[in-house]
Amino acid sequence: MNADLILAIPEITLFALACLVLIVDAFNKDPLHSLTYWVTQATLLITLVLVLNNFPTDVAYAFNNGFISDAMSATLKAFMCGITFFVFLYSYEYLKEQRSLKGEYFVLGLFAVLGMMIMASAASLLSVYLGLELLSLSLYAMVAMQRDSESASEAAMKYFILGALASGMLLYGISMIYGLTGHLQLASIAEAASSDSINRSYLVFGMIFMIIGIAFKLGAAPFHMWVPDVYQGAPTSVTLFISTAPKLAAFAMAMRVLVDGLFPLISDWQSILMILAVLSMGLGNIIAIAQTNIKRMLAYSTIAHVGFLFLGLIAGTGTGFSGSMFYIISYALMSMGAFGMIILLSRNSFEAEMLDDFKGLSDRSPWFAFIMLCLMFSMAGVPPFLGFWSKWFVLKELVASGFVTLAAVAVVFSIIGAYYYLRIVKLMYFDKADSMTAIKASKQMRMVLSVNGLLILLLGLAPNALMALCLSALAG
């Protein structure tokens, strides 16, 4: 078989199976779409197994240097599939409960995963863009899926328009870089950029537009406007999806463009990212305090977390990038749990999206209050939970690279952030419940959420394996 195709076996399989899911769903009259669901989950597992089976021991290129297969791409792909698998477990329960189950949700989700995987393996700006658009278009449609919901339509519209704008910016930056260097391959761009023949300021000009594109996709301030509206407006199952796996893809994109492609310009993008990081941490953490809607609050918390994610990139070393990768993976796990909790508390036609819906949860369900406690303390960065280690990791690399002041600024913002996470704990444990309605969630849902919460605690007690994984993924 063609060597190019072998490297892309997981993607090709995923694509073929996603098409199969589309067909299965078209001929399946079951209102619960259970066959679609199970085929989707099987697809993700098969892809996961293929990714792990073909785990690259060396860097290899395919498709005229447009596709790269290395440890980072494979690790991220494995997590994308695994996390999406969990996301669909949650989503299926939610959509069933809300009676808005559509087969397209899973099909679009699979295509989004395909887009993410292409982004993770992008070795040329063209494949970066290709993957990004495949992901984004699927997400726009997923947000808009509840046609009758006003807020969802509004969110989708906003997402689409701003997303298109960001894509335009990115494309403009790509065209600048292409015009200057004559290359689309990231490795060749890096080579050209490090030679003195190209005017650096023009390169930086092009780079800024690309960074805007990346910042938009990650949701970093000041390109964060879409995040709160989309998180709040979209159905919780979609918010859950947007806030997890696509963040890994956006991180991959940042790594590919900034590290693989524009590493010679590191001193320039470091200072740009520094501004983005401080703005995101500041704005995200401060505005989150004022929220009463938990989905919106978590949206601002995402913005703050993205700021932290940038810190590892700013460190500019291999271990620093590993720190960012560790951060984004842990964030995806925590965010999944938090939105999963909202899904757990929601009943048919009732969305537990206000902070007050968490009042007195420890009386209603001590176990899930405990899980949420773990998630919130983890997000606040309190040990012994996973979130502490992710902050610790990026801060450590930041300090090692000599950015001690920036590290001090970051920890100040994380204290501000601690306040609104504590408030959730306060609502759950110190306040009386308005109603003592029992939680009516399926066994499956309870299981998944418990596993998710305990994972945060266990990985916090023994973070070594995940750290070693991230270190080896970016050892090069």
Partner 1 sequence: MTLSNLPLLSMLIWTPILGGIWVLIAGDRQEETVKYFSLAVSIITFVFSIMLYCQFDISYSGMQFVEETEWISAFNIKYHLGVDGIALPLILLTTFTTILVILASWEVIEKRISYYMCAFLILTGLMNAVFIALDVILFYVFWEAMLIPMFLIIGIWGGPNRVYATIKFFLYTFLGSVFMLVAFLYLYSVAGSFNIEALHDVPLSLSAQKLIFIAFFLAFAVKIPMWPVHTWLPDAHVEAPTGGSVVLAAIMLKMGGYGFLRFSLPITPDASLFFSDAMIVLSLIAIVYIGFVALVQEDMKKLIAYSSISHMGFVTLGFFIPFAIVAATGSDSGAIMGMEGAMMQMISHGFISAAMFLCVGVMYDRLHSRMIKDYGGVVNSMPYFAAFMMLFVLANSGLPGTSGFVGEFLVILSSFKASFWIAFTAALTLILGAAYSLWMYKRVIFGDVTKEDVAELKDINSREGFILFMLAIVVIMFGVWPAPIFDVMHVTVEELIKHVLQSKIL
Residues 363-382 that bind partner 1 (CB under 8 A): 377, 382
Residues 429-448 that bind partner 1 (CB under 8 A): 429-430
Q: How far is the CB of 423 from partner 1 (least distance, A)?
A: 8
Does residue 388 belong to the site contacting partner 1 (CB under 8 A)? Answer: yes
Does residue 161 belong to the site contacting partner 1 (CB under 8 A)? Answer: no
Q: Which of 49, 384, 433, 454 binds partner 1 (CB under 8 A)?
A: 384
Q: How far is the CB of 373 from partner 1 (least distance, A)?
A: 8
Q: Which of 399, 433, 439, 451 binds partner 1 (CB under 8 A)?
A: 399
Q: Which two tokens stand for residue 251?
A: 């991180």
The nearer residue to partner 1, 278 or 467, going by C-beta atoms, is 467
Taking contact as CB under 8 A, which single stretch among the options 18-26, 40-48, 266-274, 425-433 is the one that binds partner 1? 425-433
Q: SS3 string of the chain? A: CCHHHHHCHHHHHHHHHHHHHHHHHHCCCCCCCHHHHHHHHHHHHHHHHHHHHCCCCCCEEECCCCEEECHHHHHHHHHHHHHHHHHHHHHHHHHHHCCCCCHHHHHHHHHHHHHHHHHHCECEHHHHHHHHHHHHHHHHHHHCCCCCCHHHHHHHHHHHHHHHHHHHHHHHHHHHHHHHHCCCEHHHHHHHHHCCCCCHHHHHHHHHHHHHHHHHHHCCCCCCCHHHHHHHHCCHHHHHHHCCHHHHHHHHHHHHHHHHHCHHHHHHHHHHHHHHHHHHHHHHHHHHHCCCEHHHHHHHHHHHHHHHHHHHHHHCCHHHHHHHHHHHHHHHHHHHHHHHHHHHHCECCECCCEHHHHCCHHHHCHHHHHHHHHHHHHHHCCCCCHHHHHHHHHHHHHHHCCCHHHHHHHHHHHHHHHHHHHHHHHHHHHCCCCCCCCCCCCHHHHHHHHHHHHHHHHHHHCCHHHHHHHHHHCCC
Residues 405-424 that bind partner 1 (CB under 8 A): 407-408, 411-412, 414-415, 418-419, 422-423
Does residue 453 belong to the site contacting partner 1 (CB under 8 A)? Answer: no
Does residue 383 belong to the site contacting partner 1 (CB under 8 A)? Answer: yes
Q: How far is the CB of 296 from partner 1 (least distance, A)?
A: 21
Does residue 286 belong to the site contacting partner 1 (CB under 8 A)? Answer: no
Q: Which of 130, 162, 187, 400 binds partner 1 (CB under 8 A)?
A: 400
Does residue 392 belong to the site contacting partner 1 (CB under 8 A)? Answer: yes
Q: How far is the CB of 136 from partner 1 (least distance, A)?
A: 35
Q: How far is the CB of 416 from partner 1 (least distance, A)?
A: 9
Does residue 297 belong to the site contacting partner 1 (CB under 8 A)? Answer: no
The nearer residue to partner 1, 309 or 467, going by C-beta atoms, is 467
The count of chain residues that interact with partner 1, using the rule CB under 8 A, is 30
Taking contact as CB under 8 A, which single stretch among the options 101-109, 339-347, 451-459, 465-473 is the one that binds partner 1? 465-473
**CA distances from residue 376 to 221, 366, 417 in whole angstroms, order as listed:** 22, 15, 11
Q: Which of 62, 143, 355, 395 binds partner 1 (CB under 8 A)?
A: 395
The nearer residue to partner 1, 275 or 408, going by C-beta atoms, is 408
Q: For residues 381 and 410, is the Cβ–Cβ distance under 8 A?
A: no
Q: Which of 396, 439, 450, 451 binds partner 1 (CB under 8 A)?
A: 396
The nearer residue to partner 1, 418 or 433, going by C-beta atoms, is 418
The footprint of partner 1 (CB under 8 A) covers 377, 382-384, 388, 392, 395-396, 399-400, 404, 407-408, 411-412, 414-415, 418-419, 422-423, 425-426, 429-430, 463-464, 467-468, 471
